[in-house]
A and B are shown apart, each in its own frame.
Chain A
């Protein structure tokens, strides 16, 4: 009895904040609109600082921060589980708005390059170029998809689902800043925002021992990697005396003599730190255990959104900054080869679908790294195209895995046997996603691999061995991807599948997210031309020498000249 009343009063109180939150959201959406409207900016004097520091580029991040604050408020005041569940709606709406603002950004600020010359925000702390815009769009879209299929999962499995969405959005925010970071300090802050939120999300299922284990493992490995990265970055700062990317690049170009040992240590540390984030072998040790123990939606987020952020950072950092320096290319080539082979070979023996997808992620990171190590714009554009396809096919696969886990509580591959008899559409989606991951033609994954391998082969005969190994590795991967399809379609139903009810209960949200992934996975191949154009444009814009280096703060320049 008392329980009912408390819920009732909670709901009543909740609705006040609910209205409040929405009002704030709409207000800030308007503000975001204002911030990106150049005509409005020119007429209002009080927003001069916005124009000077190019703050209109931060419209999406501002909006997202407000949503996070509103979510926090809701969690603090909402007492019951139902209140917490409302947070999902707020987070989803926030992501949708952010996505809309990002889309508007493209048309207002990027589609017509004469509107704004410089993409540097906060005097060079962030670089909101087209590359970052595309990767932010991908990250927000990915998070939105995760939100769509995670709702049922968290309401089923936890007592306090609300806080999860705060963490998810914070991690997303960190990822967005990481993709724009143009400054070592910013890199570190953004990376930590992403990582710390991720650590908590991994361990979110409090009662679950595996989830706690996954969280602890991820935290320990993660802190090690962060320390290594920080050490590498500090050496870089010591060498160049600058924290801003353009200044570091200038300084590196003019540096006369550096102890090769120092350079080697720095490269190894930085590559190690970044590889941890990317889960490239042999820095992948955390991935299988973490993937197995963590909640499925979190794994989906980690395997896609944080990879996109880390790759965007890696492109900017390695290609632009350390471009001419030797060492990291060879190191990353080796990591790519090891990742492809190890990921695919170990995946062959997996019995747990989440562990299998973990190793498949390791393998895909190996393919993706190929686009980076060839040091051509064509390679980077292909990498980006592959990231887009990877986003949809991997999230689609995780949507199915999550849905299956919700319905049956099972993550064992053998239990997928005969799924087509009970859930033909689910099987169709999963099959297309797996075919795409395997790189079978007409799916987006095939086009991604084709562009990537083609660009590597095209970059010079010294890279041909990489293509050969990549082809070999993807041939190995065919076996375990197709095996799941074989199980689902050909084999007789397992007991788990037999136990499923004949008629599937309506699940509009997971169905919607799966449909999006399915359509995108098929359509990205169909519209490969325009999409490839966009990623080429983004890479070309990033690679051209920055004309805006003069807009940097004088203080930083003097710092760079001191040593």
Chain B
């Protein structure tokens, strides 16, 4: 028992790998029921284990083991509120996804569950790593299982979508390596640093604070931002996501939207905003620009989609833009709102993909034009789909409303920037202004969701769909559980915010100390442009 208290996090990270090995030992029988049962049982165990820390029965202890001391690499895990929130989201959504697999995955189950569990280890490792090298390893480990999950169990264009996903992520990883090595070489160049722990978060953070020139900080921030922007995803590197979502099977879409995108926003907050606050301050106006493009542009794109799943995918991208907006606010309310949106988006978009999946399982069509009149044919699916759509468009008392309100409030009271330097011209660019424009995204969101509901569930029902059954028990279970949480956390956001609020506020407080006069900010803007033109100082 003591072992589990001491090594709670290691067990949590590697438990899925053990489950993956166990899956390989189960014989694959005809209908594969046993494998499904094992998969669900395994995720229940994982979920309950993570719940031990969630409800405070175990306080996770940071673990540090020297691994490759010659290069300053250690095996370090740690958990703060931010990490644990995402860990909880991961284990919970994994449980939902395995239950959803019961109805939507029918072939090669052994491989499926082992890949799913390896993916889980990778994601948990990303959230819990406290060594940047280890973080990178887990970040890359996620790639292969996800590739296979899309490429084997996906739709007709799965090969293309899976390859696109891999290529985009690898493109991003190159920048992660570059940024990581730059931080590492900087930390090593400082005197009095523990050389066996150079990649540890604490070492990196203190070495940045000990004097990394602003120009280098901005460069490193940019490199890391590109990596995480691909994952988040941010326009214009978002094009892999609709393809991956459309081709991926339902449970994988749920995980992709619910968890994998959070890896991007988590990395952004952790490395960009926690480690490099000065650079983040310089970059904030540009991030604000990207946020507003993300929110409004992709909402507009969602409006014109003919494919149901693609519409939900674009709406998912649009909502991730609120995370960017909250981060650009650079204050406690904005950051807390961003993390809350991450959590809310995890639940709502996973539920929406589940809704689309239940419809697709029945009709094998994703074209909105093929639907119509499903409200009377499949009323239960209709209720849940409507509920989740309303949650997504920000109906009060539901989770998205609470989280997005926090972001809007945080951005509105923020003083993070008032002008932007675009190619040498300084334009007025206030965060209040872009908050206003972002509000447009919510309105477009309401438009495309309600219009989609109208086209799918109202109107005449096509004759061929007459005999379609309504939601099965397992589907109702998944949707009802998600709906319950969406409602509960919407009514009382404090149940969730209390977990990450102290951490995230602490990150934001560093920006309070950084309050530089406007002239200094202008100087840093000038630095940024001088970097762009290739001149250093």
Contact = CB atoms under 8 A, between A and B. Distances in A.
Same assembly = yes
B193 interface: no
A55 B137 CA distance: 46
B141 A441 contact: yes
A420 interface: yes
Interface in B248-268: none
B71 A490 contact: no
Contacts of A529: 66-70
Interface in A484-502: 486, 489-490
B527 interface: no
Interface in B166-204: 166, 170, 174, 181, 185
Interface in B115-155: 136-137, 140-141, 143-144, 148, 151-152
Contacts of A528: 67-68, 73
Contacts of B144: 435, 440
Interface residues of A, number: 23
Contacts of A478: 170
B67 A489 contact: no
B148 A489 contact: yes
A441 B71 CA distance: 16
A486 B140 contact: no
B151 A490 contact: yes
A471 B68 CA distance: 22
B111 A441 contact: no
A532 B67 CA distance: 11
Main SS of chain A's interface residues?
helix
B70 A533 contact: yes
Contacts of B170: 475, 478
B174 A471 contact: yes
Nearest to A451: B71
Contacts of B174: 471
Interface string B204-245: 000000000000000000000000000000000000000000
B152 A441 contact: no
Query: Which of the listed residues A447, A454, A490, A533 has the most CB atoms from chain B within 10 Å of its own CB?
Result: A490
Interface in B357-406: none
A457 interface: yes
Given A442-B141, A475-B170, A457 B181 contact: yes
Interface string A476-518: 0010001000100110000000000000000000000000000
Interface in A524-542: 528-529, 532-533, 536
A196 to B, nearest CB: 40
A490 B148 contact: yes
A350 B170 CA distance: 24
Contact of B70 (A486, A490, A536): A536
A257 to B, nearest CB: 42
Nearest to A531: B68
A478 B66 CA distance: 30
Contacts, number: 45
A557 B110 CA distance: 70
B195 to A, nearest CB: 13
Mostly, the B contact residues are: helix
Contacts of B141: 441-442
Given A457-B181, A486-B151, A440 B140 contact: yes
Contacts of B111: 420, 489
A489 B115 CA distance: 12
A170 B38 CA distance: 53
Contacts of A447: 68
Contacts of B71: 451, 454, 532
Among B70, B143, B152, chain A packs the most CB atoms within 10 A around the CB of B70
Contacts of B152: 489-490
A532 B140 contact: no
A442 B68 CA distance: 13
Contacts of A442: 137, 140-141
Nearest to A471: B174
A457 B144 CA distance: 28
A475 to B, nearest CB: 7
Nearest to A528: B68
Contacts of B66: 529
Nearest to A441: B140
Contacts of B159: 490
Nearest to B173: A441
Contacts of B137: 441-442
Nearest to A530: B68
A532 B148 contact: no
A482 B162 CA distance: 12
Given A435-B144, A478-B170, A454 B181 contact: yes
Contacts of B24: 424
A472 to B, nearest CB: 10
Contacts of B110: 424
Interface string A294-318: 0000000000000000000000000
A441 B136 contact: yes
Nearest to B136: A441
B68 A532 contact: yes
Q: Which of the listed residues B71, B159, B170 has the most CB atoms from chain A within 10 Å of its own CB?
A: B71
Contacts of B140: 440-442
B183 to A, nearest CB: 13
A490 B90 CA distance: 27
A482 B165 CA distance: 14
A382 B69 CA distance: 14
A435 B144 CA distance: 10
A447 B71 CA distance: 11
A76 to B, nearest CB: 49
A533 B67 CA distance: 12
A256 to B, nearest CB: 41
8 contacts: A424-B24, A441-B136, A454-B181, A486-B151, A489-B111, A529-B67, A529-B70, A533-B70
Given A482-B166, A528-B67, A533-B70, 8 more contacts: A424-B110, A435-B144, A441-B137, A454-B71, A478-B170, A490-B159, A528-B73, A532-B71
* 3 closest residue pairs by CB, A with B: A441-B140, A529-B68, A528-B68
